[in-house]
Amino acid sequence: MNPQPGADVTEALEPVATEEFVAAWQHRLPPLFGEARALQLVTLAWHLRQRDPALAAALADEAQPLLATSAPAVAGTALARLSLVRAEACLLRADFDAAGAQAQAALAVFMGRGEHAGCCDALMLAANIASDLGQYRERDAALARARDCAVAGGDGLRVALVHAALAYNAAAANDPNAETRWAAAMNDLIAIGIPVLTVVANDFRVAMAFKRGDHGPAIPWLRDQMAAAGRCGMVRKQISTAANLGLAFSMLNDHGAALDWAQQSLDMARRTGWPVAIGAGLVQMAPVLAKLDQPEAAQAMLDESIGVLAPLTGCFFYLPALSFSGLFALQRGDAQAALLAYAELERKSHGHYREQFLFSVHIGRARALSLLGRGLEAEQDALRALATAVANGELTAQIEVLQFLAQLHDRFELTPPLMAAATGAPLHYLGLALDVAAEIPGFTVPDHLLTLVAEQHAKVGDHARAYACARAAAAAREATHGREVRDRAMATQLRHEAERARAESEHLRRLADVEAKRAQALGSALSDLRAAQTELLRRNELQARMSAEREETLAFLAHDLRAPLTAIAAALSDTPREDTLLRTGRLAQRALTMTDRFLDIARLSRLPLSGRVSLDLASLIDEACETFERRAVQEGRTLEQALVFGVAVLGHREALTRAFCNLVDNALKFSRPGGQVDVLMAVTEQEAALIVTDDGAGMPDAAQQLLLRTGSDRTPAASGRLGLAIVAEVAKVHEARVVVEASGAGTRVELWLPRATANSP
């Protein structure tokens, strides 16, 4: 009966689906696109309509445009289904008109396409709307049509759902044939063991049990119903089932358990934000609190429920709230408030459900008038109440009103009814009440009724009958007491069973939690291990790269050092000449210089950014240029400087001086013979630059790449470029920008450094 997650989505639109299927569909959704996605979205929206109406609406909104390109047959059905999703959302927020319109629109589409399942679902929804509005004729008509559609479609599940709804309605309407007509069928549905059938069929069983006053057996059924509704995502049913559990425990005089369930129901309702569910929850909570001797809290609940339900035009649940409101007013002796409540109830119920509340209105008003000392008017309303109860076949209501009439005649001087001449009006009405009670199979006449009869017999001097009735009252009291004790014991047992089941499920949940935590801890440990492994790999890689660079550098160093050393060896192996010593000295110096430069690079790369201090740029440039001035003169080149003293930059003195020297050295080396090298400064708000230009042939690309650190080959191609490698390293550790422009007419190198601020060290 349940859809298969792998099945085609168009076939998946069963009335309800369990959590596993919804989860499977949600899992399938992400990679889908186009029409396949749209249909999956429709399915999900349909099954999330009560689980998460907001998400369902969002999915519906996403699906709608995707269906624009689908074939009309596919799109039409899917869009109609989305209308049903929206209709249900409207119903839940008590927008009955909109809900009805959407349901009707969907129904029209489904009917046009001969989609029996869709028609059935639209009609079931229409029935629910009518039910919330208390329009039972419309509800029953919709259900009858729904059954026809389900039968026409050969849809066994939907037929069963419609039958369950019809069965429940028969039970709720006191249909005397309900038991014979439906009981066996509902038991069969439950025996099938499908969650949704457990939910709907138990509605009937519970209603019948309540009618019989068998609240004890109803409790396990209600629990089954609760669990099954949870699995099927029937959230509204879960709320009402919890409320019914509260009612059952209340009837068994276990008010503590009753309060727990009523509270649970109300909590669930509040979480959904559905006004009808919240209002109904509050109405059901109020009498439970009243029985717990909490009249103020009960009244507060009732007031709140009226506040929630009153603005919902046409909402049926407003009427029981008004009825309770009148009852509570009577209980606290506030006749005026009771009259107001009953007047409002009469007005509101006048349209569709007059007969259902007519008895409440008349008996309530009669009691209020009696309180006000208006006996005659009270009697008239009581007689109307009696007529209504008789018309509706409500026997217990008849007993109630007859007892009240007896009390009324006892208290006020009223004209007795014609038939009561012999015994007097009170005994006449009480006798009628006892007659009615005798009609009810298994009914125990309440002790207070018998006490009342005894009192009346005593009043008219019939002491023998008075005694007999008093004894019957004592026996009834005992019987009632015995029944109350039994009820209480049953309730306690049921509660213990429930608690044991809850404890077991809690234990299982904790076990699952522990398992989950252990899995999480394992996962976390695994993830830590992976992170550590990644870090280790990263470090190894870094180490390997550094090692490779070191080896490269060492190889290069060895190669370049070899040249002057080989030359020294050659010079020394020659026949000693006058200039040999001079030459070897020069070569040794070259090797030494080169070694120093390597050491410089190694040292520079370790300089911290934080160690930079404020330095006068012009002073540093001046120092660097001074080193080369004599050489420039000796080589016949011009080294011009244009410096601006007093501009501070952030840096390491030694490193910057070294970099500046290398740039000037390089420029002199590659400028034309007799050419010129210019050393300038440029200053902006944030930066200051050293600019070195020469008039040589232009820096080769490889050298530029080395300077800009853009080359892939990190090894300086020639020892002459070691200086540029140092400049690049210095620029890096200073977060400096290097700009190089080179052409056949010369090279311009700019080294832009961050300027020091007033707060710099």
The residue (of 479 and 599) whose beta carbon lies closer to another protein is 599
Taken as a whole, the chain contains a residue count of 761
The residue (of 496 and 630) whose beta carbon lies closer to another protein is 630
Distant-in-sequence, close-in-space partners of 134: CB < 8 Å, separation ≥ 6 = 316, 319, 352, 353, 356
The residue (of 404 and 628) whose beta carbon lies closer to another protein is 628
Q: 667 with 741: CB under 8 angstroms?
A: no
Query: By CB under 8 A, is residue 645 in contact with another protein?
Result: yes
CB of 741 to another protein, least distance (A): 27
Selection from 632, 631, 627, 624 nearest residue 674 by Cα: 632
3-state secondary structure string across 10-44: HHCCCCCCCHHHHHHHHHHCCCCCHHHHHHHHHHH
- Where would I find the beta strands (DSSP E) of 213-329? none
CB of 590 to another protein, least distance (A): 14
Q: Could you tell me which residues are beta bridge partners of residue 641?
A: 679
CB of 599 to another protein, least distance (A): 7
CB of 756 to another protein, least distance (A): 11
Selection from 184, 121, 129 nearest residue 147 by Cα: 121
CB of 682 to another protein, least distance (A): 17
CB of 627 to another protein, least distance (A): 8
Distant-in-sequence, close-in-space partners of 631: CB < 8 Å, separation ≥ 6 = 668
Q: Count of alpha carbons within 13 Å of 223, Cβ hemisphere only?
A: 13
Q: Pick from 267, 596, 735, 741: which binds another protein (CB under 8 A)?
A: 596
What is the residue whose two structure tokens read 């309509």? 49
Selection from 368, 367, 362 nearest residue 389 by Cα: 362
Dihedral class, residue 134 (left if φ above 0, else alpha if ψ from -120 to 50, else beta):
left
Q: Distances from the Cα of 707 to the Cαs of 241, 662, 715, 724, 738, in angstroms?
A: 80, 11, 12, 6, 8
The residue (of 247 and 615) whose beta carbon lies closer to another protein is 615
Query: By CB under 8 A, is residue 632 in contact with another protein?
Result: yes
Query: By CB under 8 A, is residue 641 in contact with another protein?
Result: yes
Site string for another protein, 651-680 (x = CB under 8 A): --xx--------------------------
The residue (of 104 and 676) whose beta carbon lies closer to another protein is 676
Token pair in block for residue 469: 């009735």
The whole-angstrom separation of Cα 295 and Cα 281 is 17
Q: How many residues bind another protein (CB under 8 A)?
A: 22
Q: Pick from 62, 179, 462, 622: which binds another protein (CB under 8 A)?
A: 622
Token pair in block for residue 67: 């269906």
Q: Count of alpha carbons within 13 Å of 172, Cβ hemisphere only?
A: 14
Segment contacting another protein by CB under 8 A, of 637-645, 664-672, 707-715, 732-740 = 637-645
End-to-end Cα separation, the chain, in angstroms: 80
Packing angle of the helix pair 275-291, 295-309 (nearest 10 deg): 160
Query: By CB under 8 A, is residue 646 in contact with another protein?
Result: yes
Query: By CB under 8 A, is residue 619 in contact with another protein?
Result: yes
CB of 624 to another protein, least distance (A): 9
Binding to another protein (CB under 8 A) within 423-462 occurs at none
Q: Pick from 144, 519, 569, 599: which binds another protein (CB under 8 A)?
A: 599
Query: By CB under 8 A, is residue 630 in contact with another protein?
Result: yes
What is the residue whose two structure tokens read 């039968």? 151
Q: 414 with 376: CB under 8 angstroms?
A: yes
What is the residue whose two structure tokens read 């009691």? 367
Classify residue 274 by its DSSP letter: -
CB of 707 to another protein, least distance (A): 23
CB of 606 to another protein, least distance (A): 12
CB of 636 to another protein, least distance (A): 12
Query: By CB under 8 A, is residue 643 in contact with another protein?
Result: yes
Q: Pick from 626, 701, 713, 735: which binds another protein (CB under 8 A)?
A: 626
The whole-angstrom separation of Cα 403 and Cα 449 is 7
The residue (of 175 and 622) whose beta carbon lies closer to another protein is 622
573 burial via Cβ count (<10 Å: 0-12, 13-18, 19+): exposed
Query: By CB under 8 A, is residue 580 in contact with another protein?
Result: no
Q: 107 with 99: CB under 8 angstroms?
A: no
The whole-angstrom separation of Cα 607 and Cα 650 is 13
Query: By CB under 8 A, is residue 740 in contact with another protein?
Result: no
The whole-angstrom separation of Cα 254 and Cα 681 is 94
The residue (of 181 and 586) whose beta carbon lies closer to another protein is 586
Q: 615 with 651: CB under 8 angstroms?
A: yes
Q: 162 with 142: CB under 8 angstroms?
A: no
CB of 745 to another protein, least distance (A): 26
Segment contacting another protein by CB under 8 A, of 23-31, 236-244, 562-570, 614-622 = 614-622
Segment contacting another protein by CB under 8 A, of 20-28, 163-171, 534-542, 617-625 = 617-625
Segment contacting another protein by CB under 8 A, of 13-21, 296-304, 408-416, 611-619 = 611-619
CB of 595 to another protein, least distance (A): 10
Q: Pick from 633, 642, 683, 745: which binds another protein (CB under 8 A)?
A: 633
The residue (of 633 and 739) whose beta carbon lies closer to another protein is 633
Segment contacting another protein by CB under 8 A, of 424-432, 474-482, 520-528, 625-633 = 625-633
CB of 579 to another protein, least distance (A): 17
The whole-angstrom separation of Cα 709 and Cα 737 is 11
CB of 654 to another protein, least distance (A): 4
CB of 623 to another protein, least distance (A): 4
The residue (of 347 and 630) whose beta carbon lies closer to another protein is 630
Classify residue 720 by its DSSP letter: G
The residue (of 192 and 681) whose beta carbon lies closer to another protein is 681
The whole-angstrom separation of Cα 133 and Cα 100 is 11
In sign, the C-alpha dihedral spanning 592, 597, 598, 602 is positive
Query: By CB under 8 A, is residue 394 in contact with another protein?
Result: no
The whole-angstrom separation of Cα 569 and Cα 591 is 13
Segment contacting another protein by CB under 8 A, of 36-44, 331-339, 536-544, 618-626 = 618-626
Q: Pick from 304, 394, 623, 635: which binds another protein (CB under 8 A)?
A: 623
The residue (of 65 and 646) whose beta carbon lies closer to another protein is 646
Q: Pick from 618, 668, 679, 707: which binds another protein (CB under 8 A)?
A: 618
CB of 591 to another protein, least distance (A): 12
Contact positions toward another protein, by CB under 8 A?
A: 592, 596, 599, 603, 615-616, 618-619, 622-623, 626-627, 629-630, 632-633, 641, 643, 645-646, 653-654
